Amino acid sequence: MGKITLDMLAKSPSHTKKRRDETVQQYVRRLTHLYFSEKNIDEIDNLHHCRNLSVLYLYDNNIAKIKNLGFATSLTHLYLQKNEITKIEGLDNLRRLTKLYLGSNSITVVEGLEKLESLRELHIEKQNLPPGEKLLFEPRSLEALSKSLCVLNISENNIDSVEELKCLKNMTQFFTENNCLSDMKELSRVFASWPSLWRLELTGNPICNKKKYKDRVIVMSRSLVMLDGKEINETAKRFLMNWKASRDARRKQRKQLHFLEGGASNLISDSSNAFSSLPSLPPIQGLPNAEGEYMINPGVNPLLYEGVVASGSQSLALPRGTKPFAAIMQARAPNSTLLNRKPAEDVSQSRFPNIFAPPRPIISESNWDTDSDVHSGPPVPLQT
């Protein structure tokens, strides 16, 4: 028994009962549910008579290819798990399909779903994959399902990343047991894109062996109600959420403090570099005295005078052709006192008085004891 016959359709268990006055064709045309599980069927055929078909059970058979379903525009549920299907195809006309079961086949790529804009559940777990390969997802199919798909079962398919599933914004139930997921940060990013997720099955992944795995997963999704087959305690969930909020606040405060400290240290470092880059002047010496020794003069560089710097018994000369400053000043301003290095005996007679001399004492008068003495009496006229 490899094909579906008209006689099989008439004898198939159904919620619709055959009337006495109608033919087999008329009865088959009114069928909405067909149960053909475990019938050794290897080909989908002769179903075009069932124009009102909405639910079709074909699991546990030997079907290798999905075909001859273009007529079933009213089909909403299709059960094809545990067959020999290798490719998803022949579903373009099933615009009303909401649930598709393809588990335990030999499918390697999730594709051919671009037209199924109403699909809400996709079950494609436990595929018989070649050794070392994993189940792949076609971007066009994922994009087509991004607004409708709510339930996805991809368990036992050697999957090590779910980053590409972020586009499924309306996900409510996600089954990914016995895969190879190990990246907690990636999982957090995906859950951030699924605000309606309430059920998650992760058992059997390497990520489950990490410290406080369940606590970390619970704080990733505020909408999560069930994790690994167990309901999440509301009190524990609230405690974890408060702890996460407190931790994030402390982390943010530390980052701000680190930023401020880093900015201040960079400012100091930049200032130090700026000052260190200033050029340094040669050692300051005075003019030679009668014995030929240079006297210390903190005010003028000897390069401005004779073009030499004396340091003990050694002297450094300016390059040949360079005139000393004293010669230039003598030629241009012979009467300038800048080159007059003789100390002035009388500070008052000097053109440049010593500003570091102690101040002269203030003469105190007897009538300055109080403010009343100062302001009493008529003003004293100035003497000329």
Q: Rg for the chain (alpha carbons), in Å?
A: 48
Tally Cβ neighbours within 10 Å of residue 283: 13
Q: Is residue 325 part of a domain?
A: no
Tokens of 205: 């992944």
Do 35 and 116 share a structural domain?
yes
pLDDT at 266: 60
Do 205 and 108 share a structural domain?
no
Predicted confidence (pLDDT) per residue in 280-322, tens digit = 445 444 555 555 554 544 444 444 444 444 444 444 454 555 5
Predicted confidence (pLDDT) per residue in 325-343, tens digit = 556 656 666 665 555 555 5
Tokens of 52: 């009102």
pLDDT at 357: 55
Q: Look-up: residue for tokens 């335990």?
A: 104
161 or 374, which is more confident: 161
pLDDT at 375: 45
Split into its structural domains, the chain has a count of 2
> Looking at 125, 158, 191, which one is the last position of a domain?
158
Q: Is residue 283 part of a domain?
A: no
Do 184 and 147 share a structural domain?
no
Q: Is residue 344 part of a domain?
A: no
Do 94 and 54 share a structural domain?
yes
Do 187 and 60 share a structural domain?
no
> Looking at 236, 254, 272, which one is the last position of a domain?
254
Do 204 and 238 share a structural domain?
yes
What percentage of the chain carries pLDDT values higher than 90?
Answer: 48
Task: Give the range among 88-92, 248-252, 283-287, 333-337 with minimum mean pLDDT.
Answer: 283-287
Give the domain extent around 225.
Answer: 161-167+178-254
Q: Is residue 312 part of a domain?
A: no
pLDDT at 20: 79
Do 139 and 224 share a structural domain?
no
Do 111 and 48 share a structural domain?
yes
Contact 273, 261 (CB under 8 A): no
Do 123 and 81 share a structural domain?
yes
Q: pTM for the complete prediction? A: 0.65
Do 197 and 61 share a structural domain?
no
Q: Is residue 78 part of a domain?
A: yes
Q: Is the dihedral of CA 38, 42, 48, 53 positive or negative?
A: positive
Q: Is residue 95 part of a domain?
A: yes
Do 238 and 146 share a structural domain?
no
Q: Is residue 268 part of a domain?
A: no
CATH of residue 75's domain is: 3.80.10.10
Do 188 and 153 share a structural domain?
no
pLDDT at 61: 96
pLDDT at 10: 81
Q: Is residue 100 part of a domain?
A: yes
Is the confidence at residue 364, as pLDDT, over 70?
no
> Looking at 99, 129, 158, which one is the last position of a domain?
158
